[in-house]
Homo-oligomer: A and B are copies of this chain.
Amino acid sequence: MATIKEVAKYANVSVATVSRVINKKGYVQKETQTKVEEAIKALNYRPNNVARSLFKKQSKMIGYIVPDITNPFFPQLVRAVEDVTVAQGYTTFLCNSDDNLEKELMYLNKMAENYIDGVIIVSNHMNENHLANLQIPVVALDRVFHESIPSVTIDNYREAKRAVMHLVENGCEKIAHISGPENIINSQLRKKAYQDVMMALDRPMYISEGHYQMKTAQEATFRLLHEHKDIDAIFTGNDVMAVGALKACTKLGIKVPNELQIIGFDGIEWTETVSPEITTIAQPIYEMGKKAATMLLNRINGNEEGQDHIVFPTELKMRETTKH
């Protein structure tokens, strides 16, 4: 790799001049510019971003921490973020936290050590204290950390209510819920929405924990249907579990949606790969990622309009596991 010095020597100018032409900053005569450009080409020179970062204390890189890249919810988010940041000359850095606070903190440190310009975080454990020492702009995705940290979310409670109400309006009488992990706030909100609706309508509740996973949800469904054969609808805390519930029904020979209706939550692609396709509350995943990235870039560039807490609307995708 050629350095700026070598280019300067080759073009018979100073390094400052070379710097000026590569950054298109400051005056430089047409003629010398051409000379420099030729030198750059001849030497196949590319500016070294490490040296640049060291000086500028910023790297043109943005980080991205997610709990589990194998969760089909995330790739789309990642994609969205990449699409907007790359367009502005940033490179993204993806990290997997295993939903583990220590790893999240470790990565945050690594990022700080590398002058990462900003970071988007999806985390179930982080709060504002963890971010306090950090100098880096952050935006929270999928969950609110604290008033002071901008976020992009949906209203889990309200939208979950909508899911349950869809079942109610479809005439379901015995509605069950497969819930997500206890320690994940969004999963709790969705559960609470179910409980509140059932309570208000004076309906019986049937809840079983499915850990946000397909297999576990399948087992939870078996248990539920074994104990209560008259259950005629299931609201699952996410789409992955809806797939599990559907599989359970298929295995038990229960006709969906005629004998039992299912509605999921999230809007991931899995809902469209299975038959029947799963009705779900779809988050505008791509849009949310885009918005988060835009807000982050705004904060990085000092525009304070990156301070908000954006709550996106969802869309009820009526598909084949519920009647219309």
Contact = CB atoms under 8 A, between A and B. Distances in A.
A54 interface: yes
Given A113-B47, A214-B273, A96 B72 contact: no
A115 to B, nearest CB: 5
A16 interface: no
A107 B91 contact: yes
A48 B96 CA distance: 22
Contact of A92 (B46, B94, B114, B133): B94
Interface string A128-162: 00000101000000000000000000000000000
Contact of A69 (B54, B79, B91, B273): B79
A46 B113 contact: yes
Contacts of A135: 1
A91 B95 contact: yes
Contacts of A272: 214
Contacts of A69: 69, 75, 78-79
Interface residues of A, number: 48
A50 B59 contact: yes
Interface string A88-126: 000111111000000000010110111100000000000
Contact of A79 (B48, B53, B70, B91): B70
A246 B49 CA distance: 49
Contact of A96 (B51, B79, B112): B79
A251 B59 CA distance: 52
Interface string A263-277: 000000110111100
Nearest to A53: B50
Interface string A179-200: 0000000000000000000000
5 closest pairs, A vs B, by CB?
A94-B94, A49-B113, A250-B275, A70-B75, A69-B75
Given A46-B113, A72-B72, A273-B274, 20 more contacts: A46-B109, A46-B112, A48-B113, A50-B53, A50-B54, A50-B113, A50-B114, A50-B115, A54-B54, A59-B114, A70-B75, A70-B79, A78-B96, A82-B96, A91-B95, A91-B107, A92-B95, A247-B275, A250-B275, A270-B270
10 contacts: A48-B115, A54-B54, A61-B114, A69-B78, A69-B79, A78-B96, A82-B95, A91-B93, A93-B93, A94-B94
